[in-house]
A and B are shown apart, each in its own frame.
Chain A
Amino acid sequence: MATPPDFVAGQVLTAAQMNKVGLWLIKTQTIGTGVTTTTVTDAFSADYENYRIIVAGGASSANTGNNNMAVTLGATTTGYYQGAVGYTYANVTATVPVNNGAAWLCGGQTTSGLNMILDLFRPFATDETFMSFSYSVMATTGYGITGAGYLNNTTSYTAFTITSLATTTHTGGTVYVYGYRD
């Protein structure tokens, strides 16, 4: 028998094999038209401790500010921390610190597209949530950045929200939520 993931047609997969699937797609959410926020509910549960969230495609209505977007958990708008460093494409240091802020600033948004890779650790547990992320600002004057941080409370969360910069909205693109097998 072929060794997963090299499956063959008609192969019967055992529970032991399926239980080795490391990353499971929990849900996808298409972003609508001209929305300021996108909330994904029932993303986190007791099924998984840790998650990967990806945003790809779509676009922001305008380029402005740092061309980034925010992520919040539940209705919490305090206690977010992150350290992040990168470079502009012209090789100038770029930092995006959050020190007891209202959100994590962990995604990129321009008229060319939205993008975010965000790993969340234990958002459903009654424990602090650790995060790690990277994004690119898709504009010639943009930057690439990576960072990590945490949310300083022990609240259990099931949902998260992506918020656009003021005066901008998001249209299109997809939010993917994956669970890491425990």
Chain B
Amino acid sequence: MADPIIVQIDDVERPATPEELELIQTVQDFMASQPVIGA
């Protein structure tokens, strides 16, 4: 089982909620879609 995605809200660290996971996935998918510099 994969390690949970940990989010930090100010000083509190905890596993991401399903809603937060959706936002993270959207942002990370966008980042991954960028051409790699120098490749």
Contacts and interface: CB of A to CB of B under 8 A. Distances in A.
A39 B6 contact: no
Interface residues of B, number: 24
Interface in B1-39: 3, 5-11, 13, 16, 20, 23-24, 26-32, 34, 36-38
Interface of A: 29-41, 65-66, 68, 70, 72, 75, 77, 88, 90, 92, 94-96, 101-103, 105, 141, 143, 163-166, 169
Contacts, number: 87
Main secondary structure of the interface of B (DSSP, over half): mixed
Contacts of A77: 23, 26-27, 30
7 contacts: A36-B7, A36-B16, A65-B32, A65-B36, A94-B37, A95-B37, A105-B34
